[in-house]
Structure 1
């Protein structure tokens, strides 16, 4: 495990998320009490070394990691639609994770595990190289003001970290409704030698990705959403 006093270059000193309140509804608290012990872990409380996803899920299966699952409306649908995968969601917002677990339960999904904390810490300290089959980042905070662009999650060091955690042939799928951030994502991912764009620029919007509330708001505000699909390659 990397020492907190000697972090690798991709570790951020500026985080990309805002701390929010953690007050939960009665329903969210019930879902938390029912499922957290089996489905959840705190990133900061993980033992040193990698998470063994097969042991946690109780089976060997492709591992999909979603970073920033929000309130879980879209994520729960993706989990339920793909029972053959081990779906992991990492999110800092406790009520959001509780809501995700509640939604997954309502859909009868059992192939979900949730991690509360910083995705950078998770990937740096607890995910082995090549352990992930797919990473999804849908509509991350755009930090639209120029002075806040350094807070954006998709930066060269972070993309490099993600690429190393993907298996060869694994995919990085990004989506955003902010044009300038989409262009930044395209530029950063295209510059990473471990990744190859599966399309000539933007990827077609996949039918299987549910419309998020952010995407619907973008439609109402005449903003175009962009998807990007990159694949991990092996360097020769």
Structure 2
């Protein structure tokens, strides 16, 4: 059901459904923890997710889009127990690995969603409810003819902005220069967002100490690419 609070967004395949079998450990984590920690976006009941009910408490909700194999996500969730931390990912073995990592760290404030984050935001998150959205190192689609597949497009940013509570943040990071520039241009053009670090050189956010260095950043450093953080705030 659409209303004026929900920006219309054409479905864009901004990710690749990678195959892959789970390891024994990932499968065990899935069997033991998925019933309580995970849900499939396509199987959610109509309407907004009751995050307070799912977590068993009322707390600010942080959504991370594209948690990958979960190394960064598990550490971020462990470091911020005051948040209800939600990870959305399309790769099942990655979610299995994230549950393994969370189990090892003793994280209890993490929930997982398997499926398309655009569908999640459009159909199952109420406007103005998220304290933050994180998008770290999304698929860069480096070939120019594929740039239209990048998830950070005006309609997507408008959707994210509409779901943020006032003062909530949209934090992105990428190691591809032209994608960083695209993110900056698109987010700067969204009237509901303000660049928290507009006064910094280029408007880039200083790299937060609390964000773990990912394998993508290490690879980028070896290959001579500079990573950029962008932090925009809902006005």
Q: TM-score, normalised by structure 2?
A: 0.95
Aligned mates of 2:115, 2:10 — CA distance in 1: 14
Query: How much has 1:22 moved relative to structure 2?
Result: 3.8
Aligned mates of 2:81, 2:70 — CA distance in 1: 16
Consecutive unaligned residues of structure 2, counting only runs of 5 or more, are: none
Partner residue in 2 for 1:133: 131
Aligned residues: 228
* Residues 111-167 of structure 1, C-alpha deviations (whole Å, 9 max, x = no match): 000000000000000000011000000000000000100100000000000000000
Partner residue in 2 for 1:222: 224
Aligned mates of 2:77, 2:28 — CA distance in 1: 20
Q: For 1:169, what is the secondary structure of its paired residue?
A: strand
Aligned mates of 2:17, 2:61 — CA distance in 1: 27
Aligned mates of 2:102, 2:77 — CA distance in 1: 7
Counting only pairs closer than 5 Å after superposition, residues 168-187 of structure 1 correspond to structure 2 as: 168-187=166-185
Aligned mates of 2:192, 2:9 — CA distance in 1: 15
Aligned mates of 2:148, 2:49 — CA distance in 1: 29
Aligned mates of 1:22, 1:105 — CA distance in 2: 22
* Residues 174-219 of structure 1, C-alpha deviations (whole Å, 9 max, x = no match): 0000000000000000000000000121000000000010011001
Aligned mates of 1:63, 1:19 — CA distance in 2: 26
Q: For 1:170, what is the secondary structure of its paired residue?
A: strand
- Aligned CA RMSD, in angstroms, stands at 1.0
Partner residue in 2 for 1:209: 211
Consecutive unaligned residues of structure 1, counting only runs of 5 or more, are: none
Query: How much has 1:8 moved relative to structure 2?
Result: 5.8
C-alpha contact 1:93 1:116 (8 A) present in aligned 2: yes
**Which one of 27, 30, 38 corresponds to residue 36 of structure 2?**
38
Where has structure 1 moved over 3 Å in runs of 4 or more? Answer: none
**Which one of 43, 51, 54 corresponds to residue 53 of structure 1?**
51
Query: How much has 1:11 moved relative to structure 2?
Result: 2.7
